[in-house]
Amino acid sequence: MNLTELTIRQTHEGLKKKQFSALEICRAYLDKIAKEDKKINAFLTVTRESALLQAKKIDEMILSGQEISLLAGIPLAIKDNILVKNVRCTAGSKILDNYIAPYDATVIKKLQERGAVILGKTNLDEFAMGASGENSAFGPTRNPHDLSRVPGGSSAGSVAAVAANMSCGALGSDTGGSIRQPASLSGVVGLKPTYGAVSRYGLIALVCSFDQIGPITKTIEDAKILFEAISGKDPLDSTSLEFKFQSSLPNFQIKEVCFGVPKEYFIEGIDPKVEEIIQKAIKKYEDLGAKIEEISLPHTKYAIATYYIITPSEVSANLARYDGIKYGYSTIQSKKSKLKSLLNVYLESRGEGFGEEVRRRIMLGTYALSAGYYDAYYLKAQKFRTLIKEDFKKAFQKVDFILTPTSPTPAFKLGEKTEDPLKMYLCDIFTSPVNLAGLPGISIPAGKKGNLPVGLQIIGKPFEEDKILQVAQTFETI
Ligand code: GLN
């Protein structure tokens, strides 16, 4: 049996039946990382000692006959913008190169309470800004299906770790598509929860009004297990909410489901093979008896522009705290003799500590929020955000779910889009509207172009993750 190929559910069953120990599982993954990750670069930090220690604890529990939870002894990888106490947390940035997390994120606490084994922290585009994994200060992550290609981003390391069997499951964060788009490009399952379904406490903020943490897994069932574990209201995040999640829906009938297919999502520029795979997926649902209806989300064409005003605006505010004094990288030590003023420390530390894309967004956002431009840009973008939200609301009066491609193309070559930020921004064309509207969405493997995976996106109503997962499972099963 190849231990690193098992799903969370299979690993759990095997542990319960004592087919293998948690320590064996943990070692198998650590070996796999040692062997594979030199070429993939999914991990920024491997927490070997604490992982082995935790696995040993779970083995003792099993030996003493205690009930174990579904996640006990399950090795997981965590995106490096989620805090794990006493472990380095870089957000993929030089500015946080030496930052040690002083506390656990709520999602980490929840995983640890259930006995999960944290293997390490995964690579990402700097502060989660990017769609390819190439904006990390620690070098790009590569797509396990084709090493000359990107895995997608920003949760690049998390998807690559799962796709390459270097982790049983992972957590990512999604602000404009960073769980779903890389999941699509790397052939794994990625769920972006409803805004407010999962606590953001301990997630390094990119855009507070969009960010959500979510699961990245090999199967839908595993995504369900992880989502159930991390979701729910958290007193430490006032935007989080209590809601009812049903882990099984016994009365669910695909024949009673009506899917909407937005005409604005099948546009020029979409790879014909991607379109074909998605149309086939839609047809499969139809063959099962589901109703398919064409719908319109008329403001879709403004989504990227809206997203790329609001995102830089919040970025410019959220990243103001990295000033060379409070956190991480500072020129105070290196340039002591030449320091002229406190302002110089700020400017130089930020100038040297942040990468190009981060600096670009800080400047764009500062501009969009400045007096005289605020109304023309930020305020206008917020109005469009409302219109985009209304589009979905109207559509969901008629249909239960919306089916779209996750990404207009499969994985592209490293370096292909790095010179042109706009091209990179367009990677989020089908995913960012979902964040603008605060809705849940999942990307599931739907087919392949050659050896490159293509993902289907299923968008649902707020807090209907259970139904989305059910519908996704129906597809996975056939
Ligand atoms: N690619 C998008 C961006 O660069 C989405 C990032 C994300 O979801 N974190 O902003």
Nearest to 91 by CA among 46, 123, 134, 139: 123
**Ligand 1 centre and the CA of 14: distance in Å?**
37
| Substitution site in 135, 154, 309, 412 for ligand 1 pocket (most atoms within 8 Å of beta carbon) | 154
Per-residue three-class SS string for 213-248? EEEEECCHHHHHHHHHHHECCECCECCCCCCCCCCC
Instruction: Count the Cβ atoms, other than its own, within 10 Å of residue 2.
Output: 8
- How far, in Å, CA of 87 to CA of 65, rounded? 32
- How far, in Å, CA of 474 to CA of 236, rounded? 36
| Substitution site in 79, 82, 124, 125 for ligand 1 pocket (most atoms within 8 Å of beta carbon) | 125
Per-chain mean pLDDT for the chain: 96
CB 95 within 8 A of CB 326: no
- How far, in Å, CA of 247 to CA of 98, rounded? 40
Query: Closest ligand 1 atom, CA of 131?
Result: 1
Verify whether ligand 1 is closer than 6 Å to residue 314 (CB atom).
Answer: no
Average pLDDT for 285-297: 98
Q: What is the pLDDT of residue 90?
A: 98
Query: Closest ligand 1 atom, CA of 129?
Result: 4
Verify whether ligand 1 is closer than 6 Å to residue 105 (CB atom).
Answer: no
pLDDT over 90 at 60, yes or no: yes
Verify whether ligand 1 is closer than 6 Å to residue 199 (CB atom).
Answer: no
Verify whether ligand 1 is closer than 6 Å to residue 128 (CB atom).
Answer: yes
The residue behind tokens 């005409």 is: 263
Verify whether ligand 1 is closer than 6 Å to residue 311 (CB atom).
Answer: yes
**Ligand 1 centre and the CA of 117: distance in Å?**
27
User: pTM for the whole thing?
Assistant: 0.97
- How far, in Å, CA of 218 to CA of 7, rounded? 7
- How far, in Å, CA of 274 to CA of 266, rounded? 10
> Which pLDDT tens digit goes with each residue over 198-246?
999 999 999 999 999 999 999 999 999 999 999 999 999 999 999 999 9
Q: What is the pLDDT of residue 336?
A: 62
- The crossing angle, in degrees rounded to 10, of helices 48-63 and 8-16 is 50
pLDDT over 80 at 340, yes or no: no
**Ligand 1 centre and the CA of 154: distance in Å?**
6
pLDDT over 60 at 5, yes or no: yes
Q: Kindly state the tokens that stand for 288.
A: 């099962």
Verify whether ligand 1 is closer than 6 Å to residue 132 (CB atom).
Answer: no
> Which pLDDT tens digit goes with each residue over 233-280?
999 999 999 999 998 999 999 999 999 999 999 988 899 999 999 999
Average pLDDT for 350-374: 96
Assign 212 to helix, strand or coil. Answer: strand
pLDDT over 70 at 335, yes or no: no
Verify whether ligand 1 is closer than 6 Å to residue 135 (CB atom).
Answer: no
Q: Which long-range contacts (CB under 8 A, 24 or more apart) does 411-414 make?
A: 411/143, 411/145, 411/146, 411/149, 411/150, 411/151, 411/152, 411/185, 411/186, 411/452, 411/453, 412/132, 412/149, 412/150, 413/148, 413/149, 413/150, 414/132, 414/134, 414/140, 414/142, 414/148, 414/149, 414/150
CB 107 within 8 A of CB 158: no
Verify whether ligand 1 is closer than 6 Å to residue 178 (CB atom).
Answer: yes
The secondary element (H helix, E strand) that includes residue 275 is helix 272-287
**Ligand 1 centre and the CA of 132: distance in Å?**
9
**Ligand 1 centre and the CA of 472: distance in Å?**
24
Active-site residue list: 79, 154, 178
**Ligand 1 centre and the CA of 278: distance in Å?**
23
- Number of DSSP helices (H) and strands (E) in the chain, helices first: 16, 11
- How far, in Å, CA of 327 to CA of 351, rounded? 14
Q: Whose CA is nearest to atom 10 of ligand 1?
A: 129
Taking CA atoms, 393 is separated from 298, 399, 434, in Å, by 12, 10, 12
Q: State the pLDDT confidence band at 341, using cuts at 50, 70 and 90.
A: confident
Average pLDDT for 133-143: 98
Q: State the pLDDT confidence band at 331, using cuts at 50, 70 and 90.
A: confident
Domains of the chain: 3-230 (3.90.1300.10)
CB 424 within 8 A of CB 418: yes
Verify whether ligand 1 is closer than 6 Å to residue 428 (CB atom).
Answer: yes
